[in-house]
Structure 1
Amino acid sequence: MRLLTPQHPARLVAIGFALAVAVGTVLLMLPIATESGDSAPPVTALFTATSAVCVTGLVVVDTGSYWSTFGELVILALIQVGGLGIMTLASLLGLLVARRMGLRMQLVAQAETKSLRLGESKRVVVGVIALSLAVEAVIAAVLTGRFLTGYDESFGRALYLGIFHSVSAYNNAGFSLYPDSLVPFATDLWIIAPIVVGFVFGGLGFPVMFEAGRHLLHWLRRAEERITGWSLHTKITVWTYAGLALLGAVSITAIEWSNAATLGPLDGVGKLVTGVFAGLSPRTAGFNSIDVGAMHPSSLLITDMLMFVGGGSAGTAGGIKVTTFALLAFVVIAEVRGEPSVHVVGRKLAPAVQRQAITVVLLGAGAVIVGTLAIMLMTEYRLEVVMFEVVSAFATVGLSTGITADLPAGAQVLLVVLMFIGRLGPITLATALALRERTRRYEYPEERPIVG
């Protein structure tokens, strides 16, 4: 029974998500799940189920035309389970690590023990579910109204489209019932804006949203008691997320401005709206409002970098996370300055956290390199195209240049593995490293090898 003890939370998370993928695969292989009435091939069902549970959005068949309503509802349920599951479990694992390390976490009240108590876990689970459903409901209402009034859809169809795309957006899944994603609505702010709000809120993570909501309620109530400032985690997440979003929006808009296959045919406002969306979506949202395969190679490279970094911790976004990226940047700055320790916004960064960040980044980069090399050996596609698919899978983004469906079965299975590793890897690895931290009783003599 050692598997079920608190010392193995990362293993439990992996097993739980693997079971969800297995159940989803079986359901999608049922004849009732396809429009044709035929059973979906095992690789197609496995790929779709993994993409949904891992809230990625990569597909090998068109979601709206290949799957029946039953199949689409299965995919929607898998997205919701995967999104809520990863957000809840990541928050609980973060809380467990905080207690193990003896630190105060802004998510809940100060604990007196190093274990995760039932009351605290209940608050986290209830908070995640309540926040998620509330945001999804608001976005679904706006989208439903727009589909109903702007595109002559019946109320039932508009409601269905609104709910599906709302859940997909908030969970950063990127699944769409349209064959070209959001290209038909590229300049429609009543569609684009709610989608952006959804994946930004989901991508920031529950701890950040919880803390922001707590400060907002305090301000609205004009409470007299003093409330503490933003936590270090929230500051790093918000500022880094905003900075990378601005970088992506500006750079991609500038590069694609005159591209006749992407932003070129649009007017000035349309170019700005579509370009900004193209810069925000790589934060693992997965929706596209332009033809990704027609983008300039430099835009693809920038998108690769944005996808690899991803969004906030304990959220529905993937990637190595913006906090990991920011912490490494502070480590580099401190080393360049010759400072003996790393300080971030008035706080000293523990050496263990620095090592964990480096480990997550290097292992992530290794997975991308190995995956890219393997698929290039299986196919004849260009490096930038293959790397784009691999990074999109590992970072659970869902953007594609259009080659996913044409890849051989072996390459698609490899993308399945990358999606699963990318979704659970950074979270479980960081948790395992933190929980395994121990004090060394002795040290060897120090020596400095030549670096560089």
Structure 2
Amino acid sequence: MRTTQAVRRGPAAAGGRVRAALNGFAQRSPSRFAILVFTLLILVFTLLFSLPVSSASGAWTGLADSLFTAVSVICVTGLATVDMATHWSVFGHLLVYLGVQVGAVGVLTMASILGMVISRRLGLRAKLIAASDSNPLRIHAGPVAEGQAVRLGDVGKLLRTVAISMVVIEGGVALLLFPRMLIAGMDVGTSLWESLYYSAMAFTNTGFAPNVEGLTPFVEDYWFLGALMIGVFLGAIGFPVILALASNLRQRRRRWSIHVKLTLLTSVILLVAGAVLYIVLEADNPKTFGHLDAGHTVFQSFFLSTMSRSGGFATIPISDLHGSSLLVTDMLMFIGGGSASTAGGIKVTTLAVLFLAAFAEARGVESMDAFKRRIPIDVLRLSVAVALWGATIVAVSSILILQITKAPLDHVLFDVISAFATCGLSTGLTEGLPDPGVYVMAATMFCGRVGTVTLAAALAQSQRRQLYQNPEERPLVG
């Protein structure tokens, strides 16, 4: 009898030890735990994509293509080394659909949800992990500004917002797309599947298309394209902003944090500025907008500006853009969307803080102010670190791809930034990369999605408190 009880207790005791070990690891380093979760997800999806059941031909998919697809899906990038519409079977497309939903949740938020499953409750540790995803300042030691995106007490609301907003927004966009597909002559089953697929790819800012033609049948359907723009924009502003907007609607008040204001204002400015630049730069290009009238040119320019921020959809061949337009797109992709969003890049608030610091320096004032609020100096330091590490990753990856492919710099730089910013637009370079280049681009996508701040915090051994200060001396700069 004692032996039977001991055997019964064995699996439970082993499960308890595993749970305790994972809890301890999550407590010691939430960012490392998050990266571990994302890495395991990529490995699992790599294995699934490589199986014969995942390909339309029934053959095994090579390691380079299956790994790249897994990274692109989990990191919601949208780049591909195979024809996504024809290479994968129904099972493979279901993996893509499921993978982008999982990847869109975010690195640290996904880790917090897994931690909640392990501990069976959303305790302080899980809240700290999730809050770190909405506010990278929580990764660092020291006080956190009161104007943070999400407070610890609101983390439960944030996780509910993540789930509800994905269902509601994707469902709403699918409802807008479904009748247009029926009008286009598709049957009910195909229309339902592709409307759900397109809505998921829009909100997650991925940009994969389930059909061989892509957006070609809908290139002049502004209802269809407008629905995609709505999904991409809502996915790019970030879950904390969606939570704030939803809370204000319920409580009928308009008290927005500085994070919400900076995100919305900077996003709108970049959207309009990008569209204006495309109108000016592509007006004489017959391959893109040169043959369109004024109304069509304006709409297509706004569509391209929206997708350049991280959406990944395109109604024109990107390689047909002028070099100046490619450079504008590089800048928009590198900036990306809002913090804790489905978009990539260094984030719009990072750009806003850098510009506020530059304006403050130009005016000769010590503090950075926005919307009658003072931004602390540690936020500026973090913004500089994010931008610098992002630029370093892009530079290193570009050098490696240039050496591997000997391709033109503008095309290499474009695809590398698209990978880092998890955008998905491509000049066609990525699809023809040799295996070494595929692995470099996969690593670039991973670093871009995980986030430079999270990656740096995970690689750091520990947070050390410096108990002394060296003498101050000012170097010459500028």
Are the structure 2 counterparts of residues 130 and 318 from structure 1 closer, same or farther at C-alpha, using a change threshold of 3 Å?
same
Of 429, 446, 451, the match for 1:403? 429
Measure, in 1, the Cα distance between the counterparts of 2:272 and 2:464: 40
How far 1:434 moved relative to its partner?
Answer: 12
SS at match of 1:448: coil
Letter aligned with residue 447 of structure 1: E
2:109 match:
88
2:231 is matched with 198
Alignment of 1:265-344 (within 5 A): 265-344=291-370
CA deviation profile, 1:124-169 (whole Å, cap 9, x unmatched): 22221011111000111111111012x1111100000000010010
Q: Which amino acid aligns with 2:384?
A: I
Distance 1:300 1:179 in 2: 25
Count of aligned residue pairs for this structure pair: 436
Give the secondary structure class of the aligned counterpart of 1:176: coil
Deviations 1:211-259 (A, max 9, x none): 112222333xxxxxxx462100001100111101111111012211221
Aligned pair in 2 of structure 1 residues 254, 3: CA closer, same or farther (>3 Å)?
farther
CA distance, structure 2, for counterparts of residue 330 and residue 258 of structure 1: 35
The answer as to 2:214 corresponding to 1:178 is no
Secondary structure of the residue aligned to 2:209 is coil
> Which SS does the other structure have where 2:159 is aligned?
helix
Q: Deviations over 1:248-280 (max 9, x none)?
A: 111012211221111123333222221211111
Gap change, CA 1:334 and 1:7, over 3 Å in 2: farther
Letter aligned with residue 246 of structure 2: G
Q: Which residue of the partner structure matches residue 96 of structure 2?
A: 75
Q: 2:409, 2:422 → 1: CA distance?
A: 19
Partner of 2:39: 18
Residues 1:442 and 2:468 are matched in the alignment = yes
Deviation at 1:84, TM superposition (A): 2.1
Look up the SS of the partner of 1:348 in the other structure. Answer: strand
Q: Which one has a bigger Cα radius of gyration?
A: 2
Structure 1 CA distance for aligned equivalents of residues 453 and 389 of structure 2 = 13
Q: Does 1:133 find its partner at 2:167? A: yes
Of 61, 69, 76 in structure 1, the residue corresponding to residue 82 of structure 2 is 61
Pairing partner for 1:147 from 177, 181, 185: 181
How many angstroms does 1:36 deviate by? 0.9
Give me the whole-angstrom Cα distance separating, in 2, the residues matched to 1:340 and 1:437. Answer: 28
More deviation, 203-212/176-185: 176-185
Cα distance change of structure 1 residues 266 and 20 upon mapping to structure 2, 3 Å threshold: same
Q: Please, what TM-score do these two structures have when normalized by structure 2?
A: 0.86
Change (3 A) 1:351 1:54: same
Taking the aligned partners of 2:361 and 2:458, their CA distance within structure 1 comes to 27
Residue number among 16, 35, 46 corresponding to 2:56 in the alignment: 35
From 238, 241, 261, the equivalent of 2:267 is: 241
**Amino acid paired to 2:160:** V
Structure 2: state its 5+ residue gaps: 1-20, 111-128
Tell me the equivalent position of 1:375. Answer: 401
State the partner residue of 1:417: 443
Change beyond 3 A, Cα 1:180–1:431: farther
Task: State how far apart, in whole Å, the 2-side matches of 1:373 and 1:445 are.
Answer: 39
Counterpart-to-counterpart distance in 2, 1:360 and 1:106: 17
Q: Structure 2: how far apart are the matches of 1:359 and 1:147?
A: 45
Q: Contact conserved, 1:187 with 1:273, CA < 8 A, in 2?
A: no
Distance in 2 (CA, whole Å) between partners of 1:413 and 1:98 is 32
Give the Cα separation in 2 of the matches to 1:46 and 1:84: 20
Distance change in 2, residues 1:420/1:278 (3 Å): same
Q: Distance in 2 between matches of 1:81 and 1:203?
A: 16
The amino acid of 2:131's aligned partner reads: L
Q: Does 1:386 align with 2:403?
A: no
Give the match for residue 126 of structure 2: none
Q: 1:337 to 1:21 in 2, by over 3 A?
A: same
Distance 2:365 2:430 in 1: 46
8 A contact 1:98–1:104 mirrored in 2 = no
Give the direction of change, closer, same or farther, for the CA distance of 1:146–1:435 in structure 2 (3 Å limit): farther
Give yes or no for contact 1:44–1:60 (8 Å, CA) kept in 2: yes
Unmatched segments (≥5 aa) in structure 1: 111-115, 220-226
Letter in 2 for 1:67: W
Answering whether residue 135 of structure 2 is matched by residue 101 of structure 1, we say: no
Contact 1:107 1:210 in 2 (8 A): no
Q: Is the 8 A contact 1:87 1:315 kept in 2?
A: no
Cα distance in 2 for partners of 1:429, 1:339 equals 33
**Structure 2: how far apart are the matches of 1:12 and 1:432?**
8
Aligned partners of 2:303 and 2:355: how far apart in 1? 26
Equivalence for 1:157: 190
Distance, in Å, in 2 between the alignment partners of 1:436 and 1:240 is: 34
Cα 1:300–1:179 change in 2 (3 A) is farther
Q: Which moved more, 1:4-13 or 1:360-369?
A: 4-13
C-alpha distance in structure 1 between counterparts of 2:289 and 2:92, whole Å = 34
Is the CA contact 1:84–1:132 (under 8 Å) kept in the aligned structure 2? no
